[in-house]
Amino acid sequence: MTTLRLWLLLRRRTASGPRDPARLTSALAVVAFGVTTAVALVVVGGLTAFVQRQLTGTGGDESGAYVVLAAFATLLLLVPLSTLGGAAARLAVARRDARLATLRLVGASTGRVATLTVLDAAVQALTGALAGVAGYLALLPLVARLRFQGRAFEVGELWVGVPGLAAAIVAVVLVALASATSSLGRVAISPLGVAARTTPPGMRAARLIALVLAAVGAASVSSALAGAPAAVGIAVTMLLVAGGMATLNLVGPFVLGLVGRVTAARARSAATLLAGRRIADDPRTAWRSVGGVALATFIAGITAVAALLTPTDGGDPAADALAHDVGTGGLLTLAIAGLLAAVSTGVLQAGRVIDQRRTYRDLALVGTDARTLDAARFRETLVPLLVATGTAAGSMLLILGPLVGVGTFADPTVLVRYVLSVAAAAGLVLLGAAASTPVARAVVAGAR
């Protein structure tokens, strides 16, 4: 049997079984790739629109500031975009590893396994990328209604061009192929270990050092910035925020692992015990599922403070327009980050259900009811969500506090805006997690 025919048979088997976990995995991966492509194209299109306005002189006196701020927002959104793209790739790889490892155990050659991997990954990524391009085209008229610099966007300003579309498709496919290829070594060298599953290695408390260093660095920089030009202050602030996000992604999984162990140790119900054990067993994956909310919490703080520190008095129309647009852009960035976080959570939670289908089957066989499994899955999202928002808020105070003053966050305007923004992002994530319920029901029903 040729490799292509074997791949087509595997695809046909997946398509014929509506409850086949592989089919659910493929659908989720395509959705994740599609959302990643569509949002990435929209964000890049917005950045190029501001660049075009600056180059053509139609953006006003503050056009350079708009380009810098748009580039900063784009860099911030790279974090949830990469998380969602990585989630799509890992979701496909998780199921593919088990299937290909089984083929290796029954005698399939390494070359055949590699070819099957490349075909599967390329088709899923290409399908998702093409769907994302269609989504981008559908969103263009809606995004064009946004007003910046005193006028709405034109569709032509937001158009990235055919080369941009091609580059996005190629990038998505390459990410999928890179993830698939990285898993080949484990499948080829130790297929039994892949099929049997292994526990991820633990993390060390040394990660907390990064948070201390970031706080000390922020305090030192804030004192050194006194009297510095505004451009220098903006650049340094951007670097501090980027460093804060990197620090948060280092510290967050470690803190979440501790909370997971405490939750499991003090659990008073089976659902809480299951949630705590799952979080403690793999805090990195649990953190990735809510990492977008941590970013949204950071962005919400920046947006709330910016609204207070950039008041408009009517004396300078250009400055007033910039201040207004900074608030609009911050809310838009926050909304995109919240949406990406919700999709990431839904994809990762559904993927974990599929990946843990044997555990779900065993729990169902010993009499665990669906309500307990649903409650455990909900708490598996809620606990990391609370940890992510709390850790992000604390990190934001440590890093931004020395720059703007901790008392700024006690202002009622800042506080109310911040709490509402974080609550909205958290609500989107919980909604995304709820989307995995049908997947869990299908897996449990198929196991019985």
- The answer to whether residue 129 scores a pLDDT higher than 70 is yes
> pLDDT confidence of 62, banded at 50, 70, 90?
confident
What are the pLDDT digits (tens) for 171-192? 988 888 877 676 555 544 444 4
Is the pLDDT at 353 greater than 50? The verdict is yes
pLDDT of residue 322: 76
Asked if the model's pLDDT at residue 200 lies above 60, the reply is no
pLDDT at 420: 86
Look-up of token digits 């085209």: 137
Separation of alpha carbons 412 and 420, rounded Å: 12
The predicted pLDDT at position 394 comes to 80
Residue 59: other Cβ atoms inside 10 A = 22
The segment with the largest mean pLDDT, out of 22-26, 243-247, 384-388, is: 384-388
Q: With 50 as the cut, is the pLDDT of residue 193 above it?
A: no
Strand intervals (E) in 121-177: 147-148, 151-152
Closest CA to 43 of 83, 72, 63, 64: 72
Amino acid at 233: G
The pTM of the whole model exceeds 0.75 = yes
Type and span of the H or E element at 230? helix 230-265
- The answer to whether residues 186 and 117 touch, using CB atoms and an 8 Å cutoff, is no
| C-alpha torsion sign, points 108, 111, 117, 119 | negative
Helices (H), 21-62: 21-56
User: What does the mean pLDDT of the chain come to?
Assistant: 77
**H-run or E-run covering 10:** helix 3-16
- What pLDDT is stored for residue 169 in this prediction? 94
Closest CA to 53 of 163, 164, 150: 150
Above 50 in pLDDT, residue 22?
yes
- Closest Cα partner for 421 from 380, 392, 378, 395? 392
Determine how many CB atoms are found less than 10 A away from the CB of residue 139: 16
Residue-level pLDDT at 114? 66
Phi/psi region, residue 20 (left: phi>0; alpha: psi -120 to 50; beta: rest), is beta
Name the burial class of residue 428, with classes exposed (0-12), middle (13-18) and buried (19+) by CB atoms within 10 angstroms of its CB: buried
Listed by start position, the domains of the chain span 1-198, 203-448
pLDDT tier at 164, thresholds 50, 70, 90: very high
Q: Which of 105-109, 166-170, 339-343, 366-370 has the highest mean pLDDT?
A: 166-170
> What's the pLDDT band for 328 if we cut at 50, 70, 90?
confident
